[in-house]
Structure 1
């Protein structure tokens, strides 16, 4: 269907599980909405590669930890902005993406210019279920991007303890995970952030996104936070403006807050290390 005013055009309207998927063109942008108000994805039609939504650019601060990811896993496809960006700027990468909504992949390909690339595998499945399957197959990834929101906010099955355990199993030693969370969902945010910190006690960084949406990116790796570990991140961030892809990490690194492990978490980690070496 097509509804049009001077600047507003509805490109697609579909129903799925009593919810509405809406694709709209307005003022040079194309946006994917859930229920007419929850923005899932947005592209600039004149430059579809540009990451319009600020949180997507902030999620890629994960590249400061691993600048050349080879095996990438994305939980949540949306319009495919991040997937399209990574395929373009990282020609050596292989990307697996999962989305629970079976309508989303076709929309991303047809209306948001997500290429059909042999390096890209898209799964229509529940993210938590797929994670368990990947762990059982002993697959590993060096970059994992978790952007799992449903019509009501952060997807409960994704931001769960069993899901985080599966992430630990498939993350390489030099791998990094970026979680998109929302501080506006106060209760869910507190629970999710506490669970993430429990599972990744050695290295956790918070990166707030300065927008009214109150998104916060939580970055996790396996390496302990120290002043020495922060130095190369700062150097890489301020030097990135000379690199491709065009991302401005200098501002991000100034707002990135390291969350060192508690004394209890450090003690538990030492005991576990000694136990493994016994």
Structure 2
């Protein structure tokens, strides 16, 4: 159990799991099992993304900022739904979570938006894709299906990612949050992703165990990522996320030394 100085506003056990919600100043946090932080929200600005790994998931905005349809598997406390609905209110969002308890917590304590453009589905993400007749293509698919035990084995599987590829827009992005202490397991999932998708950008989150994967049906066009510094700063101001830092991380972990040097010289030539 982690010692906290905030106020406990909710505490219960369900499915042999301790669930707690704490308020400390302007921050509200959801914990599982007494020590696993699941989500965090600013009470005064609930649309802001408070956890760094969620910023790295929204790196996908560099590929496509015109969003019409979004699929989110793993609702949590609704951070990504709040962010996306705030910035893209006309976008249709399908948010899927297997737990009615989680959905109720997101609605009751974490200001989950109510809108005709937000569709909450209480079911398993695998079954949602397998059993739902989907007539639209998703511009962005976000996979964040975790609990204190780690990644959902059924979600992080070849069958599931193949179904995701089938409903992803040709120029869309699938963003997948990965974390595990088992390097062999992570390697197996990486191989699956390479089988199902052509383009891939890997973003390890600094000082965290999360590795965010951005997958494309087509090869990654790095001109989408190599924006001018002014463009990246404009995005930083608009979305309150450090896009210049994320681009540096993307270059470091996805380009070889020669490619990085070419990009550096290209940047100099633009000034």
Q: Same fold (TM over 0.5)?
A: yes
Distance 1:258 1:95 in 2: 30
Task: Give 1:44-123 correspondences, 5 Å limit.
Answer: 44-123=42-121
Asked if 1:250 is matched to 2:210, the reply is no
Gaps of 5+ in 1: 261-278
1:184-210 per-residue CA deviation (whole Å, 9 max, x = no partner) reads: 34233222122111211x201101100
Offset at residue 39 of structure 1 (A): 1.1
**Runs of 4+ with >3 A deviation:** 136-139, 257-260
Distance 2:228 2:175 in 1: 18
Query: Among residues 151, 159, 164, which one is paired with 1:167 in the alignment?
Result: 164
Give the structure 1 partner of residue 34 of structure 2: 36
Task: Give 1:119-268 correspondences, 5 Å limit.
Answer: 119-134=117-132, 136-200=133-197, 202-211=198-207, 213-225=208-220, 229-235=221-227, 239-243=231-235, 244-256=238-250, 257-258=253-254
Between the two proteins, the alignment pairs up a number of residues equal to: 250
**CA RMSD, 1 decimal:** 2.1
Seen in structure 2, the aligned counterparts of structure 1 residues 116 and 236 have a Cα distance that, compared at 3 Å, is farther
Distance 2:180 2:248 in 1: 20
Distance 1:55 1:13 in 2: 25
Seen in structure 2, the aligned counterparts of structure 1 residues 19 and 259 have a Cα distance that, compared at 3 Å, is farther
> Retained in 2: the 8 A contact 1:209–1:216?
yes
Offset at residue 133 of structure 1 (A): 2.5
SS of 1:142's partner is strand
- State the TM-score, normalized to the length of structure 2: 0.86
> Retained in 1: the 8 A contact 2:48–2:240?
no
Offset at residue 237 of structure 1 (A): 7.3
1:39-58 per-residue CA deviation (whole Å, 9 max, x = no partner) reads: 11001223222211000011
SS of 2:187's partner is helix
Distance 1:132 1:217 in 2: 24
> Retained in 2: the 8 A contact 1:241–1:247?
no
Seen in structure 2, the aligned counterparts of structure 1 residues 93 and 247 have a Cα distance that, compared at 3 Å, is same
> Retained in 2: the 8 A contact 1:234–1:250?
no
SS of 1:231's partner is coil
Distance 1:94 1:144 in 2: 12
Gaps of 5+ in 2: 257-271
> Retained in 1: the 8 A contact 2:150–2:180?
no
Seen in structure 2, the aligned counterparts of structure 1 residues 236 and 154 have a Cα distance that, compared at 3 Å, is farther
